[in-house]
């Protein structure tokens, strides 16, 4: 079982993956096509999508494995549970996340956490 934390804003995205053995932390500048053009909620979904994709790529998230999405925004938890947000951009990111989940046969659960528990948030402040 791994836990995926993520956060984002209009300029930066970040994620952290906790495995039983280590915590992997990453951040990236927001892609040029999104920089200063997307909402904070949209940026959070970009971060979740990229974090999951990256985790699969470095084998922190394994085929058939269990993944906990650790989400510190109640609205985002609601969107992930209902599979709909009313925002075409966010819904597109959710479809991409669903494709990864299906392709890798992942067992995903969504957990609401407090903002202070999100270990990806401090990474947004990196220079």
Q: What is the pLDDT of residues 19-44, one digit of tens each?
A: 999 999 999 999 999 999 999 999 99
Q: Count CA atoms within 13 Å of residue 95 on its CB side.
A: 6
Query: Which superfamily is assigned to 2-110 in CATH?
Result: Ribonuclease H-like superfamily/Ribonuclease H (3.30.420.10)
Q: What is the mean pLDDT of residues 72-90?
A: 96
Q: What is the mean pLDDT of residues 62-70?
A: 97
Q: Give the pLDDT of residue 127.
A: 62
Report the SS3 class of residue 106: coil
Across all residues in the chain, what is the average pLDDT? 96
Residue 99 and residue 93: Cα distance in Å, rounded?
10
The pLDDT of residue 3 is above 90: yes
Closest listed residue to residue 69, CA positions, set 104, 110, 9, 36: 110
Report yes or no on whether pTM surpasses 0.85: yes
Angle at 27 between CA 24 and CA 32, to 5 degrees: 150
Q: What is the mean pLDDT of residues 86-115?
A: 97
The pLDDT of residue 59 is above 70: yes
The pLDDT of residue 126 is above 80: no
Structure tokens at 122: 């401090």
Place of tokens 């925004």: 73
């Amino acid at each position: 079982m791994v836990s995926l934390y993520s956060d984002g804003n209009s300029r930066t995205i970040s994620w952290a993956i906790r495995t039983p053995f280590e915590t992997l932390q990453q951040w990236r500048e927001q892609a040029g096509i999104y920089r200063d053009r997307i909402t904070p909620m949209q940026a959070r979904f970009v971060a979740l999508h990229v974090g999951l994709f990256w985790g699969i790529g470095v084998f922190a998230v394994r085929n058939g494995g269990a993944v906990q999405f650790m989400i510190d925004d109640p609205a985002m938890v609601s969107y992930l549970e209902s599979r709909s947000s009313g925002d075409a951009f966010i819904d597109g990111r959710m479809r991409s996340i669903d494709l990864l989940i299906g392709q890798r046969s992942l067992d995903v659960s969504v957990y609401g956490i407090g903002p202070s528990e999100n270990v990806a948030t401090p990474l947004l402040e990196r220079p």
